[in-house]
Amino acid sequence: MTEPPSDRSHYSYEMYADPAMAASFDAARFGGPIGALIAESQERVLLDFAAPLAGRTFLDVGTGTGRAAIVLARRGATVTGVDASAEMLAVGRERAAHQGVAVTFAEGDAHALAAPDRSFDVCVSLRVLMHTPGWRQCVAELCRVARRHVILDYPSAASLAALQAGWRRTAAALGRRTEAYRVFRHGTIEAVLAENGFRIARVHRQFVLPIGFHKAIGSRAATERVEAALSRTGLLRLAGSPVTVLAERCGS
């Protein structure tokens, strides 16, 4: 197990340690008609990729406010949620208690998971690699701790999300406080998983057009119609984002 990055001033630590950010996180990401559509789509894909759930152990890395962890636990999985932000975990604990769902929440770093090798059936990490300072190390840790499967996602470098990512990196370089996330090529993710003994078994791509565009329009019906039409042209397969992958341990 390697040590986590020492620079805790990176925005992925600093921004999510803000109690106001933690309190408003779910409303900002999943509020409104498009936010609800995103949440429903994520939940559907997660449950499909994670099945079967009952009797299996899951580690949700970068759990934040516990959305994925609660979804899994509600359907019979034994779930531990880990995050570097105590403030986000506090919201997660409150949400789980309110919903009567048993999830073990623990403070920890995705770069150095405090768990033995192959100690969970499945490791899940959603909306983490795009933000974390050492994403390759995080993937290695997910693969080390997972007994059989890893579920992770990323924004695609082949999508229009790459334009927003470029703008945010420029803004951050100019001193603006922003989430300067990265995008990934599918082949890069595939290669790093392979280096750690895993192969991609399934892939899901969500939208052709950027989420920000759909939120600006604010119509679920319009989003569903437009995305269905674009999918029929083959663009979703080529440029859909974010991309969720299910990886399995080689030889398992």
Q: What is the domain-level CATH number for residue 92? A: 3.40.50.150
In this prediction, residue 174 carries a pLDDT of 65
pLDDT of residue 18: 80
- From the list 82, 97, 72, 167, the residue with the least C-alpha distance to 128 is 82
3 in a structural domain: no
- Is position 95 within any domain? yes
pLDDT value, residue 39: 93
Domain annotation covers residue 218: yes
What does the pLDDT profile of the chain (252 residues) look like in tens digits? 455 555 667 777 877 888 888 888 888 889 999 999 999 999 999 999 999 999 999 999 999 999 999 999 999 999 999 999 999 999 999 999 999 999 999 999 999 999 999 999 999 999 999 989 899 999 999 999 999 999 999 999 999 877 776 666 666 666 766 666 789 999 999 999 999 999 999 999 999 998 888 999 999 999 999 999 999 999 999 999 999 999 999 986
- Count of all residues that appear for the chain in the document: 252
Q: How many domains does the chain have?
A: 1
Domain of residue 165 covers 11-249
Instruction: Give pLDDT, residue 12.
Output: 73
* Interacting residues of 248 by C-beta distance below 8 A, sequence separation 6+: 148, 149, 198, 199, 201
pLDDT of residue 50: 97
Q: What is the pLDDT of residue 181?
A: 76
Q: Reply yes or no: is the peptide bond before residue 4 cis, omega within 30 of 0.
A: no
Domain contains 141:
yes
Contact 145, 117 (CB under 8 A): yes
- This prediction has a pTM of 0.91
205: CB partners within 8 A, 6+ apart: 156, 236, 237, 240, 241, 242, 243, 244
148 assigned to some structural domain: yes
Find the helix packing angle between 86-99 and 19-30, rounded to 10°.
60
pLDDT at site 189:
98
Residue 4 lies in a domain: no
Give pLDDT, residue 177: 67
Residue 67 lies in a domain: yes
Per-residue pLDDT, 214: 92
232 domain residue, yes or no = yes
